[in-house]
């Protein structure tokens, strides 16, 4: 009966380990996304500060492909505001995702520790038992 339980706990451990690794990969991607959004937010805020110093007589240009096209100053300021709102909402979404993935990761990590502990306590004892090392 112990031989039937060992493969089951081993496969459970392997499954949990794979799930943990997948969660860590997703968490890493989410953190990268947060860093990119943070950089975009800083850049867009600096554009907003530049716009605040403009006079109504200044011309704003928008780069479309290889061409600079004049753009209405009010429209440009509005676009920057909308971009900041979008970036802020995306940052909130990514922060929530990071929190969720962290919590899921901790649950799976606890499960792995429980399975490893269970596996160690059920391994055969005595001089005839094979030497195993759990890493």
Domains of the chain: 2-122 (1.10.287.370)
- The end-to-end CA distance of the chain, in Å, is 25
Least confidently predicted of 3-7, 27-31, 94-98: 3-7
- The pLDDT > 70 percentage for the chain reads 85
Given a cut of 90, whether residue 75 has pLDDT beyond it is: yes
pLDDT band at 134 (very low <50, low <70, confident <90, very high): low
Which pLDDT does position 99 carry in this prediction? 97
Half-sphere exposure of 102 (CA within 13 A, CB side): 8
Q: What is the mean pLDDT of residues 109-125?
A: 81
Which pLDDT does position 46 carry in this prediction? 97
- Pairwise CA distance, residues 47 & 57, whole Å: 18
For 94-107, the pLDDT digits (tens) are 999 999 999 999 99
Which pLDDT does position 4 carry in this prediction? 47
For 40-60, the pLDDT digits (tens) are 999 999 999 999 999 989 999
Judge contact between 30 and 98, C-beta under 8 A: yes
Judge contact between 97 and 30, C-beta under 8 A: yes
């Amino acid at each position: 009966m112990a031989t039937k339980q060992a493969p089951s706990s081993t496969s459970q451990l392997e499954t949990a380990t794979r799930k943990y690794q997948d969660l860590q990969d997703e968490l890493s991607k989410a953190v990268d996304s947060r860093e990119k959004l943070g950089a975009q937010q800083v850049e867009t805020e600096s554009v907003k500060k530049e716009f605040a110093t403009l006079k109504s007589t200044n011309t704003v240009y928008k780069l479309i492909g290889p061409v600079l096209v004049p753009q209405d100053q009010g429209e440009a300021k509005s676009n920057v505001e909308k971009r900041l709102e979008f970036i802020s909402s995306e940052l909130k979404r990514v922060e929530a995702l990071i929190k969720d993935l962290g919590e899921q990761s901790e649950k799976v990590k606890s499960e792995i520790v429980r399975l490893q502990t269970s596996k160690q306590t059920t391994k055969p004892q005595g001089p005839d038992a094979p030497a195993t090392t759990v890493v």
